[in-house]
Structure 1
Amino acid sequence: IGPLFVHAMMRHLVRSLEDIPLFENTAVTVGSFDGVHVGHRTILERLRVSARARGLSSIAITFEPHHRIYFGREPRPFLLTDLDEKLALLGETSVEHTLVLPFDGLLAGLSAREFLERVLIDRLGAKLFLVGHDQAIGRDQVRGPKNVARSAKGLDLDLETVPPIDAGGAPVSSTRIRTALTDGETTVALALLGNPYLLTGKVVHGDERGRQLGYPTANIALDEPYKLIPAPGVYIATADVLDTPTGDAQVRAMLYLGTRPTFDDSRTVVELFLMDWTGDLYDTRLRVSIYARIRGDMRFDGASELVERMRRDEEITRTWFDERERCMMKLSM
């Protein structure tokens, strides 16, 4: 998988409700879309199909910041995607417009009916509203298709319901993915996401311990303080170098997340060993894509034992990429 492809989706980042652009004849869905997982993608594909059948334009509405951050309900990192990552992933879908609304006091104060009337109908010209099976809207937290339909009574707005998307006997949800990532069940999390897990941030100076061990690493300060960091361990990854003058350059990499217990460090670090890479990356932004977890975090008796294990991790990582490349070549034949 190369750098994320963004189609000709129109992005609209709005400062206030009064700045919402005016549309006519649209089909709309609303959500946090945290992770843009397979459930979200199913909803967005349904939106595309329903909009096209009715001759409407499709709009996905999301919010910044996340409502749990605005209300102070989440003291710990929990986001599966920061805003840039979310927009990049939404750009892979076939939705024509993505509208990012500011989640502020004015928006939070709208009732469900006020949101439907003032935002969806008056500003966006919505004729169709695609409603999730457990979706809640408005300060009155009107939840579920039947209750939303009551709030929309008398409005010139059709509703269409999307049933839950199941995988492995349970609905796909951002909460389920967060739990899998935190528990080290990376394979499960990635299957529910439908794409690699992303981490984006700037390369900063570290203590250069990796360089001393023969594995120089890029220490990454994440852009989003609420970004969820998966379970400690070593991961197979790639890095997109976002600030190169010629465009994105993707590099095979080995990612470490943890507190470096061998050196009695207490800080959680995000360290990336870029394979076959030379050059200065300080102050460069990287987007890391996680593909698999090799192992959990471990305490070693000393630096030599750690290096020996890192060599094994590198071998596993290179083999994984080589096998992946061979499979892709077979598929292209």
Structure 2
Amino acid sequence: MTDFIHLSDLDDVPDALRGAVVAIGNFDGFHRGHQHVMETLKTRAAERGVPAIVLTFEPHPRDVFAPEPFMFRLTDGDAKARLAEALGLDGIVIMKFDRDFSQIEAEDFVSRFLVNALAVSGVIVGSDFHFGRGRRGTPDFLKASGIAKGFAVETLELIGEGVDIISSSLIRSALGEGDIARANHLLGYRWFIDGVVIEGDRRGRELGYPTANLSTPPAFISLRAFMPYELC
């Protein structure tokens, strides 16, 4: 088994990742719905004898077009990489998303990144996936591109939980309501946050309850109910 590979762009893709089957999406949370995609990804890659990798984007596109970051994130790029490795994938590509990137035509995205850089043998996306300028890149567009360029494309339907579709938004709502158990159930692991321990006023020590003060990214500030866990 090769070491997990973490790339921040596709300028110089190692041979170990070329020809891979690739799952593309934002994958905020790597929740149970995303894990369904990852299991299919690993199966298809194993059938072909090629690597299984994820292509995702940071920051989230919604934050790029907002006046300021506004959306609470379940997982930043580093957390996505940790989860991808824990799920047994071979690598992850976390591409920088900005306004210039959003103007790349869907045809160029396919030719530049999927064909020329990665030489993909297969692509897996969710049924709600869109990419490229004006969101012109739909699953049907991708399938047509695959036929023309010589790679397979598989579209997966979203997974439900009762009457709800498992989604990052549903998990954010559960966390915002303080329902950690439901959030963990939808995630498929215990939710965690990353931060740097900083010095506080040491008041907890005076009360007999020493605490650790975490400095967290701005995306976490708007969440009122949280409980840090370690990844199972």
Global fold match (TM > 0.5) = yes
Q: What amino acid is the match of 1:18?
A: D
Richer in strand (by share): 1
Deviation of the 1:145 alpha carbon: 2.4
Question: Where do 4+ consecutive residues of structure 1 move more than 6 Å?
Answer: none
Report if aligned partners of 1:113, 1:152 keep a CA contact under 8 Å in 2.
no
Higher RCO (CA 8 Å, separation ≥ 6 residues)? 2
Partner of 2:11: 18
Residues 103-150 of structure 1: CA deviation (Å, up to 9, x unaligned):
134422212221111100111001211121111111221364224334
Q: 1-side partners of 2:49 and 2:194: how far apart?
A: 37
Deviation of the 1:56 alpha carbon: 2.4
Deviation of the 1:55 alpha carbon: 2.6
Partner of 2:4: 9
1:34 aligns with 2:51: no
What secondary structure sits across from 1:62 in the alignment?
A: strand
Deviation of the 1:190 alpha carbon: 0.8
Report if aligned partners of 1:29, 1:59 keep a CA contact under 8 Å in 2.
yes
Listed as ranges, the gaps of 5+ residues in structure 2 are none
Q: 2-side partners of 1:80 and 1:174: how far apart?
A: 7
Task: Select which of 93, 107, 113 maps to 1:113.
Answer: 107
TM-score, L = length of structure 2: 0.87
Task: Select which of 199, 208, 224 maps to 1:205.
Answer: 199
Report if aligned partners of 1:132, 1:144 keep a CA contact under 8 Å in 2.
no
Q: Compute the RMSD of aligned alpha carbons.
A: 2.4
Task: Select which of 188, 192, 211 maps to 2:182.
Answer: 188
What secondary structure sits across from 1:199 in the alignment?
A: coil
Deviation of the 1:63 alpha carbon: 1.6
Report if aligned partners of 2:121, 2:152 keep a CA contact under 8 Å in 1.
yes
Richer in helix (by share): 2
Count how many residue pairs are aligned between Structure 1 and Structure 2: 229
Partner of 1:70: 64
TM-score, L = length of structure 1: 0.63
Deviation of the 1:74 alpha carbon: 6.0
1:50 aligns with 2:61: no
Q: Residues 63 and 20 of structure 1: is their aligned pair in 2 closer, same or farther, counting only changes over 3 Å? A: farther
Partner of 1:257: none
Q: 2-side partners of 1:228 and 1:21: how far apart?
A: 37
Residues 40-94 of structure 1: CA deviation (Å, up to 9, x unaligned):
1110110110111123222211122222222226643410012222211111112
Residue identity (%): 34
- Which entry has the higher C-alpha Rg, 1 or 2? 1
Deviation of the 1:32 alpha carbon: 1.4
Q: 1-side partners of 2:69 and 2:93: how far apart?
A: 27
Report if aligned partners of 1:27, 1:129 keep a CA contact under 8 Å in 2.
yes
